[in-house]
Amino acid sequence: MIVDDLKVVFVGASGMVGAAVLQECLENPAVSSILCVGRGSCGRQHPKLTELIHPDLFDLKPAAERLKGYNACFYTAGVTSAGMNEADYTKIIYGMTKAVVEVLLPLNPDMAMVFVSGARSDSTEKGGLMWARVKGRAENLLLGMPFRSVTIIRLAGLVAAEGFRSKTFLYKIFYAALGPIMPLLARLFPNAVTTPQILGRAFIRSAQGRAPKKILEPADIHALGSATP
């Protein structure tokens, strides 16, 4: 079933990935309304955007009434694993995801879930990379839940949205050095580095039911996001 009109709950819109996807959502006619959920403002204003600022994303039950009536969830919340132990990283990547979707899904049983993960995430949950194991655990959680559809976006490189400035120290250093050439890298290596427009369209088309499979690797993201509608 293809869904033409998306009403999106957006978790993580203030981060680098979220800002990129949100920009396309605001411009794309397939998305009619967006509720940005976070501990702070996403920093954007638009006629089809509203915000739910909630101090504890591990407990959204007090805000349940405002979370009803949506048919898609775009989940881009997360943190870098640098300097974190596995328990703390798991709490955020797996634990917070679980807490959010266990509130959202019963309120919106026809909801599609689109979740940003990472290239080389580990579906076995047993590999040597801590972050990949944890990401894989979160992926498996969502794939086992009765959403209308679940799409895992295994993102690699991303051109930052225009005007976006990361608050994460490592990302600040990375984009200060490589940010100016990222658009060139996206043109030269589109299966490794993507643009906000292509990533946003991949999210939207996945939620509509147009994704060819449940787990999209970087090349799949490019193919879906750049395809002619």
Output the six-digit token pair for 58. Answer: 């591990």
Question: pLDDT tens-digit profile of 19-74?
Answer: 999 999 999 999 999 999 999 999 999 999 999 999 999 999 999 999 999 999 99
pLDDT for 131-162, tens place per residue? 999 999 999 999 999 999 999 999 999 998 77
CA distances (Å), origin 196, targets 44, 84, 91, 95, 205? 16, 28, 28, 27, 14
Which of 159, 162, 163 has its CA nearest to residue 194? Answer: 159
CA 202 to mean position of chain CA atoms = 11
Domains of the chain, by residue range, sit at: 6-226
On the question of pLDDT at 171 being above 60, the answer is: no
Task: Indicate the CATH number for domain 6-226.
Answer: 3.40.50.720
- The answer to whether the beta carbons of residues 127 and 86 sit under 8 Å apart is no
Q: 10 or 81: whose pLDDT is higher? A: 10
**What number of residues does the chain have?**
229
Asked if residues 15 and 77 have their Cβ atoms less than 8 Å apart, the reply is: yes
pLDDT at 58: 97
| pLDDT over 80 at 179, yes or no | no
User: pLDDT tens digit string along 94-134?
Assistant: 999 999 999 999 999 999 999 999 999 999 999 999 999 99
The pLDDT, as a whole number, for residue 24 is 96
Write down the pLDDT at residue 165: 62
pLDDT, residue 173, reads 60
Instruction: Reply yes or no on whether the pLDDT at 177 is more than 60.
Output: no
pLDDT at position 161: 78
The answer to whether the predicted template modeling score (pTM) of the entire model surpasses 0.85 is yes
pLDDT at 9 over 90: yes
Residues ≥6 apart with Cβ < 8 Å to 113: 72, 73, 75, 101, 142, 145, 147, 149, 150, 151
Ramachandran bin of 43, using left for φ above 0, alpha for ψ from -120 to 50, beta for the remaining angles: left
